[in-house]
Structure 1
Amino acid sequence: MKRLQKCCCCASTRTGTLITAVLGIILSIATIITVWVVEKHKVSFSTFIFDDDFDKKLSDLDIPRIILTLNLCFTILICSLLIVAVLKRRSWLMLPWVVLGIVLAIGLLISVLHTSITYYLMEDKTEEKEEHRGHVVLATAILIGGLIYLCLYLYLWAVVFSHYLDVRDEEERGRYRKAPYRR
C-alpha cells in the first residue's frame, strides 16, 4: 500500500490522525447518549441464534444496550490511546487502533450489506405498495449511505496507518540519525 503524505490534501497525516481520534471519541459519546435516550421500541435486536422470545427477554433487560455501551467505551479508550501515541510518537501505542480499525471496517461492510438486504427482502413480504416502496427506499439509502461511510472510514484508516508507518520507520532508524538516503 502506498503511504499517504497528506490528509485531505492539506493537513499532515499526524493532524489527520489526531482528527480521526477526536472524531472517534465524539461519535462514540454521541452514540452512547443516543442509545440510552432513544425509546426502546425504536431499536430492534435479534441474535439469529435464539428464538424471538429470548431476544425479547435480552432486549427487556437492556443487554444489547449494555454490550454496545461497553464496546463504545473501549473505542473511546483506544482513540485516547491513539492521541497519546501521536503526541509521544510511539508506534506500538497506535497498533491497537490500526488493528481495531480494519476489523471494524469489515464489520461495517457486513452490517451495511446485511441490513440493506434484509430491507430488500422485506419488500417481498409486504402486501401494500406504499410500504413496499418505503422498504426499497430505506434499503437503498442504507446501502448507498453505508458504502459512502465505509469509504470515508477506510480513507481515515489509511491516514492513520500511513502515520503509523512513518512513526515506526522513524523509531527503527533512530530519531536523530540522518535519513537513509543521506548516509
Structure 2
Amino acid sequence: MQLTSCCGCFSLKAGTLFIGILNIVLSIISLILIFTLNVEWKTILIDALDQSIVKIIFAINLCMTILISTLLVIGALKRNTFMMLPWVVLGLILVVGVLVSVLYTSIMFFVNHAVINGILWLVIGLIDVVIDAYFWLVVYSYFQYLRYDKLNNRIDPYGRPYNYRRP
C-alpha cells in the first residue's frame, strides 16, 4: 500500500519532514526528561540492571533516533533516498518493537491483577502503534515515490542527475 498524501491534505514530502522534525524534538525532550526526572526505568528482558545503565541505554537510543531522523530530514529535502533508508528500515522495526512492548507490558499488568492499568496501557499503546505505523507508511510512500521518480528521470541514488555524454 502506498499513500499519495499525508493526512489527506499535505504532501508526502511535508509529512516526511514533519515526522522527522517531530522525532528530533520528542527525542530531545525525552533526553532531558530521562536525566532530570527521578523515575525508575526498566527494561523488558533484564530487570536487574542498574538505573544509570538503563538511562544510558535509553540516551544512546534517543541519540541514534536524533541522528537517523536528521538523515531523514536532509534526505527528504535533497530527495536522497540513500539518506532516508536507515529511518525507513529502523522505523518498521520500531513499529514491531513498540507493538511487542505494549503487548508484553499489558499482559504483565493483567497477570499482576492491575486490570485497569493493563487496559489503559493496551488501548493507548495500540493507538501509538497505529500512529507509528501510519507515520512509517507516509515516509515509506515518499521514499518509494522518490525511488520511482529517480528511475524514470535517471537520477542516481544520491540525488544527482546522470550526466553521461558520449563523445
* TM-score range relative to shorter protein: 0.7 to 0.9
1:72 aligns with 2:62: yes
Paired position in structure 1 for 2:144: 165
Q: Secondary structure at the match of 1:11?
A: coil
Does 2:12 match 1:22? no
Higher helix share: 1
Is the 8 Å Cα contact of residues 3 and 141 (structure 2) preserved in structure 1? Answer: yes
Match of 2:40 among 40, 43, 52: 43
Distance 1:83 1:46, change over 3 A: closer
Query: Does residue 142 in structure 1 map to residue 141 in structure 2?
Result: no
Superposition pairs of residues 74-89 of structure 1, within 5 angstroms: 74-89=64-79
1:115 maps to a residue whose letter is T
Query: What is the one-letter code of the residue matched to 2:9?
Result: C
Deviation at 1:45, TM superposition (A): 2.2
TM, length-normalised to structure 2:
0.88
Query: Which protein shows a greater Rg?
Result: 1
Unaligned runs of 5+ in 1: 124-134, 177-183
Distance 1:89 1:7 in 2: 17
* Unaligned residue ranges in structure 2 (runs of 5+): 156-167
**RMSD of the TM alignment (CA)?**
1.8
* Partner residue, 1:99: 89
Counterpart amino acid of residue 100 in structure 1: L
Cα offset, 1:69, TM superposition: 0.2
How far, CA to CA, are the matches of 1:96 and 1:7 in structure 2?
21
Write the letter of the residue equivalent to 2:42.
F
Residues in 1 aligned to 2:128 and 2:73: alpha-carbon distance in whole angstroms: 22
Identity %: 39
How far does residue 26 in structure 1 lie from its aligned partner after superposition?
A: 1.1
